[in-house]
Amino acid sequence: MRNYWSLYYHFLQEFKELTYKGFSLPYILHFPNLVRNNKEVANALGQENFADTLTYQINHQREFQAAFTKYVNSHHKRFKKKKINNGKIAIHVDPILRIPDKSYEKSFKKSKSLIVVADPTTSSTSKNKTIKFGLPVKNLCHYRTSAYKKEILAVQNKARALFQSTKHSPFYQNQLFQAKVIKKIPQAIKMIEQVNQFFDEVPISCVLVSSTHSYISRILSLVAAERGIPSICLQHGIMNSEQGFIPKIATIDAVYGQFEVDWYKQLGVNQHGLKIIGHPRFDQAKQLPQQTRKAFHQNLGLDPRKKTIMLVVRENQKIEKWRLFLKTIYAKKLDVNILIKDIPGKDAHPLTKEFPVVSSSKISSLYDILPHVDCVVSYTSTVALESMLADKPVFILDNSFPNYTGYYNPLNEMVQKDPRKLAKLVTLFFTTPHWKSYAKNKREQFLRYAYPYKGISEKRLKALIYELMNGKFTPF
């Protein structure tokens, strides 16, 4: 990963003069998107000593985080504006915020909160979607940006000039990369203007986002910092890939557990910028099931006399391994129901056609399924953590990749790369009392570190928001 972070850092330095109203755009543009599906970049990153060919390079991710920390700190309260103590809570809702619908009503007052979206498909005169989750909605895309065409063109021309001046770096001569940068510049500039207009119009005291990798959430957090407004970034999933969680930008990153705190501290992040609260979505693990066990079996066509295994997959990824796992389960003559849970919105998984006794979870919600299964086998997904929070034994098919954080490694034997060995251990769990006890102990031990907070997370989030609004925080 040194190659990747060095290239990103190199981009920050080489293009730092690409600015708009005090913002260095390389710090705002989503770099992974700029290099995605680019064969030339992929080939370069695969070369062992690629980083050594760059003018600017780093040896550890903490150096990269330090660069962003310095940049963010330079924006803290740049403008001497009066702090707003009685403003609203701005909640940026996007696909990965994942706060349950009911939590909005319970945690946020209509008079004190609003939903922020960036939806270019709706008209500013449209009456639709003025209320969402019982809260008023502000669409950032409804703020006008037509007056900034000259500024956008000037920055794009500056980018083209920088491409010419960096001919010593062949990577920047890549046409696909150049096209993406030019395309993203108007989006970033318009959003800077729209977010500033939003803050000018609406008194805001705290901003809540799902991730600071989206350029929209990143701009919201940075503009808020300029105005002395604190921001909170919820953790959008388990920290299994470092690319999804570096850099840290918000005032506070509200994380699941001690794993994330220790991980960020290794990057040099001040512990004051981290708070263990869990996540409101996981509060659902404590709720009573919406349907009876009998209705569950009938709806999915499962045999009520058998135990049920939920297999958590991601489309056709690692399908050969999952196929081998199922073949081994049946070779062991383990007589169970097997339910495949794929990512939402997908058709029945191909393995349900190959193995007649394997069923699809269809469109059932995870929290409608979990109360009625006896064991979960998953890839390294957030669903595995959710299953453990619902007191289910979890086995992991290890599909480690180069930047995997080792999140589930503390589960020890319950994590296996060989699907045949994993199937044998699952069989032992159903047939041997010792393995039931081992699985329970491992789950409890894991959660003490990964998700120690046993209370209601939405209450902890609400308390954190009002703590920040009252000025009781220390920027990292």
Q: Do 136 and 192 sit in the same domain of this protein?
A: yes
Residue at 420 is within a domain: yes
Q: How far apart are the first and last CA of the chain?
A: 25
Q: Do 442 and 462 sit in the same domain of this protein?
A: no
Domain of 338 in residue numbering reads as 289-450
Q: How far is CA 111 from CA 119, 241, 417, 461, in A?
A: 23, 38, 51, 18
Q: Do 316 and 272 sit in the same domain of this protein?
A: no
Which value, in Å, is the radius of gyration of the alpha carbons in the chain?
Answer: 24
Q: Do 327 and 196 sit in the same domain of this protein?
A: no
**Average of per-residue pLDDT across 171-193:** 95
Q: Do 202 and 245 sit in the same domain of this protein?
A: yes
Q: Do 331 and 268 sit in the same domain of this protein?
A: no
Cis peptide, bond prior to residue 95, ω within 30 of zero? no
Q: Do 264 and 323 sit in the same domain of this protein?
A: no
- The confidence score (pLDDT) of residue 475 equals 43
Residue at 161 is within a domain: yes
> What is the CATH number for 97?
3.40.50.2000
Q: Do 311 and 239 sit in the same domain of this protein?
A: no
The predicted-structure confidence for 130-150, as pLDDT tens digits, reads as follows 889 999 999 999 999 998 999
- The confidence score (pLDDT) of residue 473 equals 52
275 strand-pairing partners: 254
CA-CA distance, 354 to 344, in Å (whole number)? 21
Q: Do 422 and 463 sit in the same domain of this protein?
A: no
Q: Do residues 35 and 4 lie in contact, with contact meaning Cβ atoms separated by under 8 Å?
A: no
- The confidence score (pLDDT) of residue 317 equals 92
Among 36-45, 194-203, 438-447, where is mean pLDDT lowest?
36-45
Residue at 106 is within a domain: yes
pLDDT higher than threshold 50 for residue 384? yes
Residues 6 or more apart whose Cβ sits within 8 Å of residue 384: 238, 312, 376, 378, 394, 396, 408
For CA atoms 332, 337, 342, 347, the dihedral sign is positive
Residue at 46 is within a domain: no
Of residues 465 and 346, more confidently modeled: 465
- The confidence score (pLDDT) of residue 109 equals 93
Residue at 42 is within a domain: no
- The confidence score (pLDDT) of residue 313 equals 95
For residue 388 the two structure tokens come to 């453990």
- Count CB-CB contacts under 10 A for residue 276: 18
pLDDT higher than threshold 80 for residue 247? yes
The owner of tokens 């997908």 is 346
Q: Do 110 and 247 sit in the same domain of this protein?
A: yes
Residue at 135 is within a domain: yes
For residue 473 the two structure tokens come to 């925080």
The reported pTM is 0.94
Q: How many domains does the chain have?
A: 2
Q: Across the beta sheet with 88-92, what order do the strands follow?
A: 131-132, 135-139, 113-117, 88-92, 204-209, 231-234, 252-255, 274-276
- The confidence score (pLDDT) of residue 201 equals 97
Q: Do residues 294 and 360 lie in contact, with contact meaning Cβ atoms separated by under 8 Å?
A: no
pLDDT higher than threshold 80 for residue 265? yes
Residue at 57 is within a domain: no
- The confidence score (pLDDT) of residue 465 equals 96
The predicted-structure confidence for 95-106, as pLDDT tens digits, reads as follows 999 999 999 988
**Average of per-residue pLDDT across 356-376:** 91
Report the interhelical angle of 433-450 vs 382-389 (nearest 10°).
110
CA 339, 426, 307, 396: dihedral to nearest 10 degrees? -40
Top-confidence range, 76-90, 265-279, 341-355? 265-279
Q: Do 228 and 304 sit in the same domain of this protein?
A: no
CA-CA distance, 212 to 193, in Å (whole number)? 18
Residue at 340 is within a domain: yes
Q: Do 211 and 235 sit in the same domain of this protein?
A: yes
